[in-house]
Amino acid sequence: RPIHISYDGLARVDGSARFSFGQSPTSLASLSGPIEVRLAAELPSKATFEVLVRPLSGIPATEAKALAAILRACLEPSLILTRNPRTLVQLVVQGLGSSSSSSASSSVPSSSSSSAVSPGLTTSMINASSLSLLIASSIPMRGVVCAVSVGLRDDGTLILDPSDDEASGEREGGLKAIGAFAFMIT
């Protein structure tokens, strides 16, 4: 499936990017930093890395906060935060729904939604976040984090970037497992 990347020039941020795999959900990520940090969050030996996942509507629910923790765990090892102590690096990520429709089912769950976040959306957010870090170029990096969703078919074969039909089992030879695979290129 084709990869869609656009480097958005969002106002008042250091770097921003959109990313999607084919018809999978599009993600928008923006990075600000290093900027002034709240005294309570200040770290004396390195920058504070904050990741916020914003739903299209409503307030962030538990799933959005869990996804923010996943993104932080994936991206923080690639950053050299000791170069800018006592500052804040803030990454804001938003799932924009699928590129073919704007259904709320494929975006990040808000407080009024109880659906889980798909591996396709997770990988899209990781890739958009990495691109926004590269665009900003204000934070030194050890490497670039990339991600792809992987599915395991009933016959034991692995497929990269499974479609929504394959992931939901609606297609012949559906998937018995699906997940996200992230790696850092140094």
The pLDDT value recorded for residue 129 is 98
| Predicted confidence (pLDDT) per residue in 114-129, tens digit | 456 789 899 999 999 9
Pick the residue with more confidence: 163 or 49? Answer: 49
- Indicate the pLDDT class of residue 23, thresholds 50, 70 and 90: confident
| Predicted confidence (pLDDT) per residue in 83-105, tens digit | 999 999 999 999 997 444 333 33
Q: Where are the domains of the chain?
A: 3-139
Whole-angstrom distance, CA of residue 71 vs CA of residue 43:
20
Indicate if the pLDDT at residue 77 is higher than 60: yes
Look at the alpha carbons of 13, 119, 110, 98 in this order and tell me if their dihedral is positive or negative: positive
Q: What share of the chain is helix, strand, coil (3-state, %, to 5)?
A: 25, 35, 35
H-run or E-run covering 122: helix 119-136
Residues 6+ apart with CB under 8 A from 57: 104, 110
Predicted structure pTM score: 0.88
CATH architecture classification, 3-139: 2-Layer Sandwich (3.30)
